[in-house]
Amino acid sequence: MARRDFKALERRRLKAARLFEQGMMQAEVARRLDVSSMTASRWWRTWKAEGREGLRAAGRAGRKPRLTVPELIQIEEALRRGPLAHGYSTDLWTLPRIRDVIERVTGVHYHEGHVWRVMRGLGWSLQKPTTRARERDEEAICRWVRKRWPQLKKTPHAGERRSSSSTKAASRNDRRSAAPGRRAARRRS
């Protein structure tokens, strides 16, 4: 998602202030700066009441972040130590676990649904572990695939007739009926 260029927006408002100072009408300022007449009117009222300073940027847009940069660094260091270092039984981070670590390290409580935004901000991404049994025996699997699988695998038998239909077995004789279609096989009454 593209962020707004707050410096460019401020420059445009200050340009409007210069035009107002030159005695230009609100409608002409709106045309020159390609803004709505309502926006030019709002800028004019602010300029009249507070001067140029009133049109300067107010700072960041939106709510201030709950975590500071040093706190984010602390969180990342804690997460890099791994879940086992924090008393979890497996070496797998989940959102509820990360939420608990954030709360322990910083005292800030997040809903687990928001934790992924914090993680994305830190440059972390979702990683799904491969699901394999701990008791998995790779040698036995390779042996089975080499020896047993070919015996079980269904393959068409060479020399046998095959049907063009995947759901119909091949016919034993290849004679075709002289009668056209199923109707010819029915007796007429």
Give the domain CATH number at 29: 1.10.10
On the question of pLDDT at 174 being above 60, the answer is no
Regarding whether 108 and 83 lie in a shared domain, the answer is yes
For the stretch 111-139, pLDDT in tens is: 988 899 999 989 998 887 777 777 888 89
Domain assignment present for 108: yes
Regarding whether 77 and 44 lie in a shared domain, the answer is no
End-of-domain residue from the set 77, 104, 121: 121
Radius of gyration of the chain (CA): 37
Q: Which of 1, 9, 121, 131 has its CA nearest to residue 68?
A: 121
pLDDT given for residue 3 in this prediction? 61
Q: What is this structure's pTM?
A: 0.45
Regarding whether 46 and 82 lie in a shared domain, the answer is no
- Dig out the tokens for 20 from the structure: 């107002």
Domain that holds residue 92: 69-121
Angle CA(31)–CA(37)–CA(38) in degrees, nearest 5? 150
Domain assignment present for 104: yes
Domain assignment present for 135: no
Domain assignment present for 109: yes
How many independent structural domains does the chain possess? 2
Domain assignment present for 78: yes
Domain assignment present for 150: no
Domain assignment present for 75: yes
Domain assignment present for 91: yes
End-of-domain residue from the set 85, 102, 121: 121
Lowest mean pLDDT of 70-79, 85-94, 125-134, 157-166, name the range: 157-166
On the question of pLDDT at 173 being above 80, the answer is no
pLDDT given for residue 20 in this prediction? 92
For the stretch 1-32, pLDDT in tens is: 346 788 888 899 999 999 999 999 999 999 99
